[in-house]
Amino acid sequence: MRRVAIVTGGAGGIGQGIVHALARAGFVVGVNHFNTADAAQRTVDEVSQLGGDAWAVQADVRSAADIQRMIADAVDRYGHLDVFVNNAGVQTWKPLLEVTEDEWDFVLDTNLKGTFLCTQAAARVMKDRGGSIVNIGSGCNKIGFPTLVAYTASKGGIEMLTKVSAIELGPHKIRVNCVAPGAVEIERTKREVEDYAGTWGRVTPLRRIGYPDDIGRAVAFFASDDSAFITGQTIWVDGGLFSQPPWSQK
């Protein structure tokens, strides 16, 4: 029986790395996107070229109806769902005093509400046979980042949502864990500073930045039977960045 996974925001960036890692691990992967159908199809084609199997599925993670339709699509195709990865996320870079209500709602609805709605919908399908839900966190899970107030609040919420979900869903043999990346180079992050790799590599103990495949391998571990007795945990895939005192990063 094929193992089936869905990755939200799987069309690019870290999500694409997760899709590739799960496909290499033998999963057939649903590549979720909101409004990037072409990018999602390119990711599906890349998986196919690597000998894997994937399909593209559109859904807005802020919408319970969209999420239910996305999960129903997986069940209609394959009869079950084994793994769900909550990766979709957005950011607003603004000081606290300048963030608008609409900007706050957009970030919290996408990142935190979306993770809640997807976790709930996926667990309802998994509860009779078990499964694994993996949330994608951030250094913001435990450190406050100026000008990222909404994003930091959403990721802190995901940290605790992971723990509570693990407790409540454990009796259904559903594991819930979180992968918290450090400085990972994708197209979006490369625009944040002029020399992203140099800037963050210097202050990361392993002296390099991360890449989407680093995150993908950690997700694949949580999706596998190798983590069968692990739930409610956050693993920091950050090269040691957030294990050191802040002043050592200057």
Domain segments of the chain: what residues?
Answer: 3-249
Q: In degrees rounded to 5, what are phi and psi of residue 233?
A: -110, 155
CA gap 214, 23 in Å, rounded: 15
pLDDT at residue 186 above 80?
no
Q: Say whether pLDDT at 185 is over 80.
A: no
Confidence at residue 248, expressed as pLDDT on a 0 to 100 scale: 60
211 counts as catalytic: no
Q: What is the per-residue pLDDT for 58?
A: 98
Q: How confident is the model at residue 29 (pLDDT cuts 50, 70, 90)?
A: very high
State which of 3-12, 143-152, 187-196 shows the largest mean pLDDT.
Answer: 3-12
Percent of the chain with pLDDT over 90: 82
> 102, 92 in Cβ contact below 8 A?
no
123-132 average pLDDT score = 97
Q: What is the pLDDT of residue 203?
A: 85
Whole-structure pTM value? 0.95
Residue with tokens 């869903």: 169
CATH code of the region 3-249 = 3.40.50.720
> How far is 212 from 221, CA to CA, in rounded Å?
15
For residue range 133-163, what is the model confidence (pLDDT) as tens digits? 999 999 888 888 899 999 999 999 999 999 9
| Residue 222 CB neighbours (<10 A) | 23
What is the per-residue pLDDT for 242? 87
174: pLDDT confidence band, cut at 50, 70 and 90? very high
Say which of 78, 151, 196, 211 is annotated catalytic. 151
